Structure 1
Amino acid sequence: MPWRNDGISESCLRNWTAQANTDDNDGGRLTSAEKKELAELRKKNRQPEMKNEILKRAAAYFAWENVLPT
């Protein structure tokens, strides 16, 4: 892997340049702002999914508890 004198690999510099071009609307990739927004939306989407999973498990637990003889 070729390295520049300042310790940055050419592939890293190429990726940074491509992202900078995208951020300037010169490419077909997501901009940095869009990537950030997408990450935030995915995080918000996981929260209700986790809550639903907890509620399902709680419902199953209490349903099972009512089936067992006391």
Structure 2
Amino acid sequence: MAQCKTCGNNYDKAFQVIMGSKTHTYDSFECAIHALGPVCGHCGIRIVGHGLESAGKFYCCEHCAENGH
């Protein structure tokens, strides 16, 4: 069993995410998103999906990108 990096749960179906040279272990997509998902530069929510990047910042949608500058 592996331990989730976010919540500490030991789970036999945990998975690993590799970002750059670091490996992270999670028990759910929710924990992975909480730990690794970018934050919208305007409203502050975690971005799930594509989002967009403008002027070096990430945004969850076009509305936030237009209002986040």
TM-score tier by shorter-chain length is: under 0.3
Greater fraction of residues in helix:
1
- Compare the two structures and name the one with the higher strand fraction: 2
Structure of greater relative contact order (alpha carbons < 8 Å, 6+ residues apart):
2
Larger radius of gyration: 1
TM-score, scaled relative to structure 2:
0.23
TM-score by length of 1: 0.22
